[in-house]
A and B are shown apart, each in its own frame.
Chain A
Amino acid sequence: SMIVSHRRAIYICHSMLAHRCVRARVTHVYAARALSSSSAYETVVGVEIHTRLATRSKLFSGAPSTYGAPPNTAVAAFDAAHPGTLPVLNATAVALAIKLALALESQVQSRSSFDRKHYFYADLPHGYQITQQREPISLGGRVRIGYDDAESGARYVGIERVQIEMDTGKSSRATDVGGSSGVSGTNATRVDLNRAGQALVEIVSAPDMRSGEDASAMVEAMQRMLRYLNVSDANMEEGSLRCDVNVSVCTSEDAKLGKFGERVEIKNLNSLRSIVRAVKYEAKRHVEVLSAGGTVERQTRTFDTNTGKTVVLRSKESLLDYRFTPEPDLPPLVLTTADVEAISNRMPELPAAAFERLTKTLGVSASAATTILAFPTSLKYFDVAMENCGEAKGVDVANFIANEIVGAARKDGGATFKDPLSRVPRAASAMRVGQLLSRVAHGDISGRMAKKVLEALMNSDERSLSEIIYDVCGGGQMSSDGGADNSLREICTAVVSEMTQEVKLFRSGKTKLMGALVGEVMKRTNGRANPKEASALLTECIDAVDN
Chain B
Amino acid sequence: ARALDSGALTSGDLVAHARRRVDVDALTSNAFTRDDKDASTTASTGRQSMWHRAVRDARASDARRRASDGGDAGASASGGGELASALDGVPFAVKENLCVAGVETTCGSAMLRGHVPVYDATAVRLLRDRSGAVLIGTTNMDEFGMGSSGTTSTRGATLNPTSSDGARTAGGSSAGSAAAVANGSAFFALGSDTGGSVRLPAAYCGVVGLKPTYGRVSRFGLIAYCSSLDTVGVLARTVGDAAVVLAAMQGEDELDATSVERCADVDAFARDVVSGRMDAFDDAPLRGVRVGIPEEYAVRELTQEAYDVWDDTARVMQSLGATIVPTRMPHTARALACYYVLAPAEASSNLARYDAARYGDVTHAVSREAYLSQEYQSAVTSARSAGFGDEVRRRVLVGTFALSSQRAAEYFIRAQKVRRLVAQDFTDAFTTQGVDVLLTPSAIGTAPKIADVAATRPERAYATDVMTTPASLAGVPAMSVPIRRSRTSGLPLGVQLIAPRFRESTLLRVGYAIEQRAARGYSTTTTTTTTTTT
Contact = CB atoms under 8 A, between A and B. Distances in A.
A118 B403 CA distance: 10
Contacts of B254: 88
Contacts of B373: 183, 185
- Of the listed residues B112, B115, B255, B345, the one surrounded by the most CB atoms of chain A closer than 10 A to its CB is B255
A47 B236 CA distance: 58
A258 B228 CA distance: 41
A84 B223 contact: yes
Interface in A404-443: none
B126 to A, nearest CB: 15
Interface string A306-340: 00000000000000011111101111000000000
Given A86-B219, A330-B257, A331-B258, A182 B403 contact: no
B227 interface: yes
B352 A120 contact: yes
B257 A83 contact: no
B150 to A, nearest CB: 20
A472 interface: no
Nearest to A189: B376
Interface string A43-72: 000000000000000000000000000000
A182 B403 CA distance: 37
Interface stretch (A97-105, A121-129, A453-461): A121-129
A170 to B, nearest CB: 14
Interface stretch (A9-17, A30-38, A74-82): A74-82
B343 to A, nearest CB: 11
Given A84-B222, A321-B405, A183 B107 contact: no
A126 B221 CA distance: 16
B460 interface: no
A181 interface: yes
A189 B256 CA distance: 34
B227 A80 contact: no
Interface stretch (B325-333, B354-362, B425-433): B354-362
A146 interface: no
Nearest to B111: A83
Nearest to B416: A326
A191 B400 CA distance: 26
B257 A88 contact: yes
Interface in B215-232: 219-224, 226-228
A125 B353 contact: yes
Contacts of A295: none
Interface stretch (B40-48, B87-95, B116-124, B307-315): B116-124
A110 interface: no
Interface in B479-509: none
A116 interface: yes
Given A88-B257, A185-B373, A83 B115 contact: yes
Contact of A86 (B257, B355, B357): B257
A519 B113 CA distance: 87
Q: Give the dominant DSSP class at A's interface.
A: loop
A77 B221 CA distance: 11
Contacts of B227: 328-329
B245 interface: no
A89 interface: yes
A182 B352 contact: no
A83 B353 contact: yes
Contact of B349 (A82, A116, A181): A116
B193 interface: no
Contacts of B220: 84-86
B257 A84 contact: no
B368 interface: yes
Nearest to A60: B257
A122 to B, nearest CB: 5
Contact of B255 (A88, A120, A189, A191): A88
Given A181-B372, A325-B346, A84 B118 contact: no
B530 interface: no
Contact of B346 (A125, A181, A188, A328): A328
A109 B406 CA distance: 29
A390 interface: no
Interface residues of A, number: 37
Contacts of A122: 355, 357, 376
Contacts of B372: 181-183, 188
Contact of B228 (A81, A86, A189, A328): A328
B353 A86 contact: no
A84 B99 contact: yes
Contacts of A330: 257-258
Contacts of A127: 349, 351-353, 355
Nearest to B403: A323
Interface string B359-380: 1000000001100110011001
A128 B400 CA distance: 13
A31 to B, nearest CB: 37
A325 B348 CA distance: 11
A184 to B, nearest CB: 9
Nearest to A177: B372
A321 B404 contact: yes
Nearest to B353: A81
Interface in B368-396: 368-369, 372-373, 376-377, 380
B412 interface: yes
Contacts of B404: 321, 323
Contacts of A325: 345-346, 349, 403, 412
A87 interface: yes
A191 B256 CA distance: 28
Contact of A83 (B224, B357, B406, B408): B224
A89 B257 CA distance: 8
A126 B348 CA distance: 11
Contacts of A89: 257
Contact of B117 (A82, A86, A118): A82
Interface string A483-501: 0000000000000000000
Contact of A120 (B221, B222, B380): B380
Interface in A242-262: none
Contact of B358 (A81, A182, A183, A321): A81
Contacts of B346: 325, 328
B395 to A, nearest CB: 15
A126 B353 contact: yes
B400 to A, nearest CB: 7
- Of the listed residues B107, B355, B359, the one surrounded by the most CB atoms of chain A closer than 10 A to its CB is B355
Contacts of A182: 368-369, 372
Interface in A129-185: 181-183, 185
Nearest to B120: A84
B221 to A, nearest CB: 4
A321 B402 CA distance: 12
B218 to A, nearest CB: 9
A330 B254 CA distance: 12
Nearest to B377: A120
Contacts of A188: 372
Interface string B190-230: 00000000000000000000000000000111111011100
Nearest to B259: A86
B40 to A, nearest CB: 18
Interface in B398-429: 400, 403-406, 408, 412
A318 B117 CA distance: 37
Contact of A84 (B117, B349, B408): B117
20 contacts: A77-B118, A82-B359, A83-B99, A83-B115, A83-B117, A84-B117, A88-B254, A122-B355, A122-B357, A122-B376, A127-B351, A182-B372, A189-B376, A321-B404, A321-B405, A323-B403, A325-B345, A325-B346, A328-B228, A329-B257
Given A83-B117, A183-B373, 5 more contacts: A83-B359, A84-B121, A84-B222, A84-B224, A89-B257
A-B pairs with lowest CB-CB distance, top 5: A127-B352, A328-B228, A328-B227, A323-B403, A81-B353
